[in-house]
A and B are shown apart, each in its own frame.
Chain A
């Protein structure tokens, strides 16, 4: 059996799942950048006392699940979301959905995801795919970061749906409860709310480790990494920063570009020139994140590595913080119609 579903590739898994599921449920005009922006996806956080894969815990996007939740809410599409204790029950509910013609979003762990190359298989449990059919024992899988659809056996799917550890998926699945007609007005309002919420998250979040102040915070920390950790471990930390920033499914520099694209697409719904102007600032921020990555690569490849080279990263990051602060401040000052 095969549900009515169109696979579209995206830069990021949750954006892709959100866009693909909601397009099927009535939001035909939804794009990846719109889903990302309406869901206020842009973020930065560095949690100093937490370690991921023995390196620093850094995220360039909002908490997993929120983009989907917020976008559904903004577009007025009700959602069903379930977790399971029993593997049999998890498969039964999935099969029933497919039988009823509903494509289903599933949270999965990457470590046992057999179609991923070994190099990418870490214990990361917040990946998202859509199951859109079943043929014999093979589930048809739309992994949004891939060019084409793929498949997993029922055993393979069960194993990734019940991966253990941090953010364990517990078989979680989710799908739009019913199709709705999504109006341009809903998208228009969603854009406005999404931007305002993102301004709040980046500029006004309390504490010093998140938002724009989080970028400044890690900049100051990185300056000390060489002395504190030694060149070898400092290089590992920088490599982790770059992977969190640029790697498929996370992409910090990439997220800044998606946000730039979001603001351009927002202009179609709100004829406000500032949106087009501010979009350029996010392009600039994205470019500078990439420049930072090149500098970091110089260090972890061992081409450079003096304290001065770490200071350069600090300076880039401070500049990024300034650009993003100005951009979000400008967004906060937009006079919305009505």
Chain B
């Protein structure tokens, strides 16, 4: 890539920083240059997030239909999966799978609910209702 060809497209990265790119100058020597982003990868990130949003809303519907416990919703909301939830809560993976059943979830002790609420960075009330008031995580 030539230095002049380094893309300077808008992207979510701009909120944080510009990134360093390596490219060659007119004499063929490698130099570094800052870039604001590249449309191609900004789109890739958008596609990933569209998929996440879709999974979150599907999970929410499942909970509302009583097919899954709110834990499923928060797993998707926090971009987690069962192994990650197990790692944060200290539960075994099979336990987490059990807790995904509404009937099992309803009987969980305060202590167990607390472990989930800490892993998801929410209150126990939010865990039960799926109504999250978040500004910071």
List residues of A whose CB falls within 8 A of some B CB. Answer: 9-11, 33, 53-55, 111-112, 114-117, 119-123, 145-148, 164-166, 168, 235-236, 239-240, 242-243, 246-248, 253-254, 257-258, 260-261, 264-265, 279-280, 283, 286-287, 290, 293-294, 296-297, 300-301
Contacts and interface: CB of A to CB of B under 8 A. Distances in A.
A279 B27 CA distance: 14
Contacts of B81: 54
Nearest to A122: B79
Nearest to A249: B19
Contact of A239 (B28, B29, B44): B44
Q: Does more than half of chain B's interface fall in helix, strand or loop, or is it mixed?
A: mixed
Contacts of B34: 147
A111 B79 CA distance: 9
A254 B38 CA distance: 12
A280 B13 CA distance: 29
How big is chain B's contact interface, by range?
A: 35 or more
B10 interface: no
B48 A236 contact: yes
A327 to B, nearest CB: 15
Given A242-B40, A243-B45, A33 B22 contact: yes
B117 to A, nearest CB: 15
Top-8 shortest CB links A-B? A261-B30, A164-B87, A119-B12, A257-B22, A239-B47, A239-B44, A165-B84, A242-B44
Contacts of A248: 13, 19
B16 A115 contact: yes
Contact of B137 (A112, A164, A257): A112
A120 B87 contact: no
A294 B40 contact: yes
Contact of B17 (A146, A243, A246, A293): A146
B129 interface: no
A243 B47 CA distance: 10
B58 interface: no
Contact of B16 (A116, A236, A253, A297): A116
Given A243-B44, A297-B40, A300-B44, A147 B18 contact: yes
Contact of B48 (A145, A148, A243): A243
B104 interface: no
B12 to A, nearest CB: 4
B20 A257 contact: no
A283 B1 contact: yes
Given A9-B17, A261-B22, A294-B40, 12 more contacts: A9-B20, A11-B19, A117-B12, A123-B80, A148-B17, A236-B47, A246-B44, A257-B22, A257-B30, A260-B24, A264-B30, A297-B43
Interface of B: 1, 12-13, 15-24, 28-30, 32, 34, 38-41, 43-45, 47-49, 51, 78-81, 83-84, 87-88, 136-137
Contacts, number: 124
B76 to A, nearest CB: 10
Contacts of A247: 41, 44-45
B12 A120 contact: yes
B47 A120 contact: no
B17 A257 contact: no
Contacts of B17: 9, 145-148
Contacts of A55: 48
Given A120-B13, A239-B47, A260-B30, A11 B21 contact: yes
A290 B7 CA distance: 11
Contacts of A146: 16-17
25 contacts: A11-B21, A11-B32, A33-B22, A54-B81, A55-B48, A111-B79, A117-B12, A117-B15, A123-B80, A145-B17, A145-B20, A147-B17, A239-B44, A240-B48, A246-B44, A247-B45, A257-B1, A257-B21, A260-B22, A260-B24, A260-B30, A283-B1, A293-B41, A294-B40, A297-B39
B9 to A, nearest CB: 12
Given A147-B18, A301-B43, A164 B88 contact: yes
